[in-house]
Amino acid sequence: QSVLTQPPSVSAAPGQKVTISCSGSSSNIGNNYVSWYQQLPGTAPKLLIYENNKRPSGIPDRFSGSRSGTSATLGITGLQTGDEADFYCGTWDNSLSAYVFGTGTKVTVL
Amino acid sequence: EVQLVESGGGLVQPGGSVRLSCAASGFTFSSNSMNWVRQAPGKGLEWVSYISSGSSATHYADSVKGRITISRDDAKNSLYLQMNSLRAEDTAVYYCVRWWGVLPAATFDYWGQGTLVTVSS
């Protein structure tokens, strides 16, 4: 089972904002940078945020990330129907010597 | 353009073996560490294995340790995953993923489209 905990789902109307939490521990989020991945239906995951809050080229600034202690948060503003996807946090776990993913959060645009 | 193209998936009997391949292009393959990540049908992402550039280090998830071997051929720009003693719970889409950066700041920056392995009799 995943060592990073996310809410199963979040939803909001178009144009609104959602936040997704990712809770871990000192062996993972507490001592390593967090990435976020977006998986659109039927496609491979894509890097959305790296090093807690940096966006790869081409990712709009509607997507933002932050980390505090052993938790991380992904924010999506100006929600669009095209944002409907599964989102996963991920980071290295020093105790497990393994990369760990969050449980995943489905974003629904109402 | 970075491209990762997996192949080798299919239907395998329980206890059987399969070798997955990943053809990389668009970047200097030998300079990058690589990974395999899998996703069971309707489930979340699970990291499977890591191999460093130069093959000096490998890591495996506990769920596959002893049954899976990751390797690479830099001359062929290819990554491999040899899977033995397959179980029903190994059924998943397997993604080839590039590792970018150095811990504690590393990430998975490019993903292949995946290849489906189905373990069933």
Q: How far apart are CA B70 and CA B82, in angstroms?
A: 6
pLDDT tens profile A82-101: 999 999 999 999 999 999 99
Q: How many angstroms separate the CA of residue A80 from the nearest CA in chain B?
A: 23
% helix, strand, coil for chain A, step of 5: 5, 50, 50
pLDDT band at A1 (very low <50, low <70, confident <90, very high): low
Q: Are B38 and B46 in contact (CB under 8 A)?
A: yes
pLDDT of residue B61: 94
Q: Span A29-56, mean pLDDT?
A: 97
Alpha helices in A1-110 (DSSP H): none
Bridge partners of B4, per DSSP, are B24
pLDDT band at B104 (very low <50, low <70, confident <90, very high): confident
Q: Are B91 and B16 in contact (CB under 8 A)?
A: no
A86, A92, A103 member nearest B104 (Cβ): A92
Q: Span B78-85, mean pLDDT?
A: 98
B59, B106, B107 member nearest A98 (Cβ): B59
Q: How far apart are CA A85 and CA A43, in angstroms?
A: 10
- Retrieve residue B34's tokens: 């690589």
Q: How many angstroms separate the CA of residue A64 from the nearest CA in chain B?
A: 16
Q: Nearest Cα to A51, choosing from B104, B39, B83? A: B104
- Amino acid identity for residue A90 in this structure: G
Tell whether the model's pLDDT for residue A2 goes beyond 80.
Answer: no
